[in-house]
Amino acid sequence: MGTLPILLLLSLFQVTPHAAPADPVDLGAGAVVLEVPWGSGGGMLARRDADESSAEGPMSFTPAADGGLYVLDQVSNRVVRFAPNGAVLAEIPIPSDTCQDLDLAPDGRILLVDRLVHRALWVVDEGTGAAMTFPLEGVGIPE
């Protein structure tokens, strides 16, 4: 029952499984799909290493229809879109550094979930950066 509001909300966007890339590649077990250096610049993914805390780095990724990847780099407040060859296609700003999960809607919008701090679902347009926010808790949403 606790996931019902999220499922109902996601049904507004007609979330369906992703289409497989046009030419799927058999990578075999243990194949490296993407290798990216640590850092905050272009073509890098950020991490936080602080004394007395756990290290934090990218928390989620999802495949793109073209065979590339979208990677949630919440430490740098962005989603990085990689081409199948590893080149950076886009760096999309996101509204919070506390997002934990990422997916794509069939229309290409980016779906981000923050279950712990803002308790919200953000829908981000990759082209414009515009974001809509939907609460995951509150009046009318059962626990």
Summarised one tens digit per residue, pLDDT across range 67-106 is 899 999 999 999 999 999 999 999 999 988 889 999 999 8
More confident residue, 123 or 6: 123
What's the pLDDT at 123?
A: 93
* 104: enclosing H helix or E strand: strand 101-104
Count the helix, strand and coil residues of the chain and give each as a percent rounded to the nearest 5: 10, 30, 60
CA-CA distances (angstroms) from residue 21 to 25, 47, 53, 83?
A: 9, 29, 39, 12
